[in-house]
Amino acid sequence: MERHLAAVLAADVVGYTRMIGADEAGALAALRAFRAEVFGPTVAGHHGRIVKSMGDGWLVEFSSVVEAVNCAIQVQDRLTGHPLIALRIGVHIGDVVHEDEDIFGDGVNVAARLEALAEPGGIAVSDSAYSSLDGTLTPSFADTGEQTLKNVAKPMRVWVKTTTPSEASNAPTRGRSTGYPHLAILPVATSDERTDVRELAEGLTGDLDATLTAVRWLVVAVSELQHARDYVLKCTLRSHGDRLRLEARLFEPGGTQIWARKFDGDLANCFDWQDRTAEAAALDVITRMLDAERDRMSRIRLEDRTAEECLVQGFMQLRLGDSQSFVDSLTSYMQAIEKDADLADAYGEAIWTTCAGMSIGLKSVLPFYEEYFPDWVAQGSRLTGRSPILGIGIALANFKSSSDAAPLRNAITDALRVSASDAHVLHYAAWCSLWCGETSTALDCFRKFERFGKAHPFSAPAKGGAAIASLQLGDDATAIRMANEGLELSSTYASLYSVLAAAYANSGKPEKAAAALSAYRELVPDRTISSWRTMNDYGGSAGGERYFDGLRKAGLPE
């Protein structure tokens, strides 16, 4: 029997016997729906494999503990508020042995014991698993010290994640009360009975769900049920021998088809094909929905728009990252606040967008900063418990005025604890980490955003942020690559040119550095090193100094 190292996730349904005793048919139907619409697709989307399924739980194997923990967090997020089902989850990395389609070993035993320590809706991970997590995940867990686990020889340090009521209210919404657009993803259908094809269908469902859920202005649910206001994504996986074809269709509310595409591949390369296909389909869906939503909102008079619709328009308008985009976006956030003075995310977006525009050096943002920004901070402060975006925004505003980075770091940690897989939160946490000198955390967040935020309107700014973080950490080649990838998405986002100028200068390529700086100064003509430092000195970090030195070499005046 071959023994190998793996991350094992053990999940158990809380109160299974009680559920079955109270309503067997209803409980079994709810568990089947959960398995088909949430658990199976989420596991497959994180490259896990369900190796054992009991009536009241599952054992899942992963090659990566980061994937296992991300999967556990997303499953628990999606169960928030479920009327029947609650899970306990344990995760450990250890040796496992496969035999007769079952799994045994230290990894399994410890994961099962950890699951028993978790609270309903919570996750418990071993110290070895925790030590493998990056900066986007570690804030989610609290140290409980050494614990004695049943049938485990030595005490083990255990880390736990629980969901408090306030955190649950801040988790990425999947309910139906929001005014945002709704998308129902039908589980990818296949008539092929082969296990690998059925698992591929589940993986495609999970990947589509993970990518599309990360779009904050969109409420996504994997479900066979649709409502009148839903967009609906319907996909069928067909196979003939080793040949594969995914047929995808998007329907707007009312049932009219607005997009369709076929993706061909082969079973021998199914994993790479799954990743490419899910990404391409998700990007197409978001692009088409953006077009549909822009068209719909253009036909609604401003006075008839909801606060949420104004908020969504603000997200969309910032996509290009140029001066006018910031003005249009801030105007939309103002309109959202006027329509609903208690819409917490609107204050958070307005505060962050103002700080970002000022950090870049955009004069067009200055009137918002001088006239509205103080009131947004004051009014938003009374709502901070309602939104991780707002919590980051208020802490960022205070950091800009006091230069005290500790409260901002705490706000970033709090936001990541609540929303570790929310692309919008990851994006803002990344930039704020960069601005206060936490460069490694910033890069972790930018990298994770790239996975969950491929279809996000902020993809170009995120490329710029990842490039700046890479440069500050001494990796000029990656900085250049990331900035050029960002320019393929937007040619008007100024930071892409400034980081190129610094990275080329640091790499001994003065002509390319001068060309990049010239492009930057066309967008931000009056910027100097000193004016830049006044608004943003990257927490006085050594990485920030490296960035400024590169800009000096490129020719930016002191």
- 396 has a pLDDT exceeding 90: yes
Give the chain's mean pLDDT: 88
**How large a percentage of the chain has pLDDT more than 90?**
51
Q: What was the pLDDT predicted at 478?
A: 97
- 379 has a pLDDT exceeding 70: yes
Which tokens go with 168? 């649950």
Predicted confidence (pLDDT) per residue in 154-170, tens digit: 888 999 987 544 444 44
Residues 6 or more apart whose Cβ sits within 8 Å of residue 339: 305, 306, 307, 310
**In this structure, what are the phi and psi dihedrals at residue 421, rounded to the nearest 5 degrees?**
-120, 15
Q: Determine the Cα–Cα distance for residues 191 and 397; give it in Å rounded to an integer.
A: 55
Reported confidence tier of residue 90, pLDDT bands at 50, 70, 90: very high
Cα distances (angstroms) measured from residue 496 to each of 2, 184, 227? 49, 35, 42
Residue 189 DSSP one-character state = B
Residue type, 484: N
Which tokens go with 195? 């296990």
Which tokens go with 135? 């900066």
Do 461 and 320 meet the contact criterion of CB atoms below 8 Å apart? no
Reported confidence tier of residue 455, pLDDT bands at 50, 70, 90: low
Q: What was the pLDDT predicted at 220?
A: 87
- 174 has a pLDDT exceeding 70: no
Mean pLDDT, residues 438-458:
83
Q: What was the pLDDT predicted at 165?
A: 42
Q: Which long-range contacts (CB under 8 A, 24 or more apart) does 105-111 make?
A: 105/3, 107/5, 107/6, 107/7, 107/8, 108/8, 108/10, 108/59, 109/151, 109/152, 110/8, 110/149, 110/152, 110/156, 111/8, 111/9, 111/10, 111/59
- 518 has a pLDDT exceeding 60: yes
CATH (residue range 451-558): 1.25.40.10
Predicted confidence (pLDDT) per residue in 96-121, tens digit: 888 766 778 888 889 989 998 999 99
Q: What was the pLDDT predicted at 52?
A: 86
Q: What is the pTM of this model?
A: 0.76
Reported confidence tier of residue 178, pLDDT bands at 50, 70, 90: low
- 215 has a pLDDT exceeding 80: no
- 248 has a pLDDT exceeding 90: yes
Reported confidence tier of residue 454, pLDDT bands at 50, 70, 90: low
Architecture of domain 182-298: 3-Layer(aba) Sandwich (3.40)
Residue 305 DSSP one-character state = S
- 337 has a pLDDT exceeding 90: yes
> Between vectors from CA 419 to CA 417 and to CA 422, what angle results, nearest 5°?
150
Q: What was the pLDDT predicted at 172?
A: 45
Domain ranges of the chain: 3-163, 182-298, 451-558
- 126 has a pLDDT exceeding 70: yes
Q: Which of 67-76, 126-135, 148-157 has the lowest mean pLDDT?
A: 148-157
Do 3 and 96 meet the contact criterion of CB atoms below 8 Å apart? yes
Predicted confidence (pLDDT) per residue in 39-61, tens digit: 988 898 888 989 888 878 899 99
Fold type of domain 3-163: Alpha-Beta Plaits (3.30.70)
Mean pLDDT, residues 20-36:
89
| 83 vs 519, more confident | 519
Cα distances (angstroms) measured from residue 158 to each of 106, 124, 130, 441? 16, 7, 9, 23
